Amino acid sequence: MKTLPLTVLFHEGPMARAYLGMLAAEGLRVERIVRMVGRRDPARRRPIAPWLPSGFRRGLAALVQDRQMNHWPRELRRRHRDLCEGWWRELAAAWSYPPGIFEHLVGPSGDVDRADSVDELFIDGLGDPVLEQHLRRLPGRNAVLFTGGGMVPASLLSIPSCRFIHVHPGHLPHVRGADGLLWSILLRGRPGATAFYMDAGLDTGDVILARDLEVLPVPRAFAELDVLTGYRMLYAYVDPLLRAVLLREIVRRHPTGLADLPTKAQAAGEGTTFHFMNERLRRVAFQRLVDLSHERADPVV
């Protein structure tokens, strides 16, 4: 495997796993993974077993994080195996990647350590000074791929040697904020994705690449799911891989590094910032997604 000069700020979950799985399918490993293990329970936000010795506590915290953040990719496959695996094959054909990439979303955590170096930090969120100090000590100029975990604080964004890259599931500046995949389907009739260098605003950084993507293949059985299950399925599988597909395009264009790519600034005041959809709108967006998929005359490329 070739090494891509990229630092992945790894927050356990489908997004981080999709990125590394897609890069592995391209024959790439990254220069460095900074694996963040949270001191707090991701759901309850309470400290995890503070009475345990540090080493045991870190191991337990990593297990809790894996079980919680990857619960739905695994559980949905268990409950709806035929639907999930059939859809995986359709998406793989549409987006031209090996179907086995989905195993990165449901497999053991050891499968994601595809890097020349893996640094594990036991921290209390993105604002923990330990993380800032670690990133400041990294040698050279670094492209840092953000994979979730909350809002990136100014203390990290201000590190001169690091440029944080985020892939947003919407075409910026038109679709900012939450539920970008669903708002794109509902309002623009197709999914979109944008990679940008992060700044202090919400999805307002300088754009590396923004794309409208082809309509997704969606099995008709998806429309028969209840709204919550359908929502979980989209964000367990489709949303992470959509982001990874755009990252793949950027890496193919710029295989020697991502820290100083050409960009386009977003105009101040342009675009719309959306909030999470309510259940009624989700249902409308799901049906729109299915209808658009089955109106396609040509296969997705």
Sign of CA dihedral 153, 174, 142, 40: positive
- Which CATH number among 3.40.50, 3.30.360, 3.30.160, 3.30.70 corresponds to the domain 2-168+191-214+239-267? 3.40.50
For 101, residues 6+ apart whose C-beta sits below 8 A from its C-beta are 18, 21, 22, 24, 25, 92, 241
- Which secondary structure element, helix H or strand E, spans residue 31, and what is its range? strand 28-38
Which pLDDT value is given to residue 156? 98
List the domain boundaries for the chain. 2-168+191-214+239-267
In angstroms, the CA 124 to CA 149 distance is: 11
Q: What is the mean pLDDT of residues 169-182?
A: 96
The angle subtended at Cα 38 by Cα 75 and Cα 141, nearest 5°, is 110
CA nearest 141: which of 163, 158, 156? 163
CB-CB contact of 198 with 9 (8 Å):
no
Question: pLDDT tens across 15-62, in order?
Answer: 999 999 999 999 999 999 999 999 898 888 898 888 888 889 889 999
The angle subtended at Cα 244 by Cα 188 and Cα 60, nearest 5°, is 120
Radius of gyration (C-alpha) of the chain in whole angstroms: 19
Which pLDDT value is given to residue 167? 98
CB-CB contact of 9 with 146 (8 Å):
yes
Question: pLDDT-derived band of residue 300, with 50, 70 and 90 as boundaries?
Answer: very low
Sheet holding 162-168, edge to edge: 115-123, 28-38, 2-11, 142-146, 162-168, 192-197, 207-212
Place of tokens 């010795």: 53
Phi and psi at residue 72, to the nearest 5°: -70, -40
Tell how strand 272-274 and strand 207-212 pair up: unpaired
- Looking at per-residue confidence, does 146 or 298 come out higher? 146
Question: pLDDT tens across 71-120, in order?
Answer: 999 999 999 999 999 999 999 998 888 888 888 888 876 555 689 999 99
Phi and psi at residue 40, to the nearest 5°: -115, 150
Max Cα–Cα distance, the chain, nearest Å: 60
CB-CB contact of 159 with 180 (8 Å):
no
Q: Please state which of the ranges 2-11, 112-121, 232-241, 247-256 shows the lowest mean pLDDT.
A: 112-121
Indicate if the pLDDT at residue 5 is higher than 80: yes
Indicate if the pLDDT at residue 147 is higher than 50: yes
Sign of CA dihedral 167, 168, 169, 175: negative
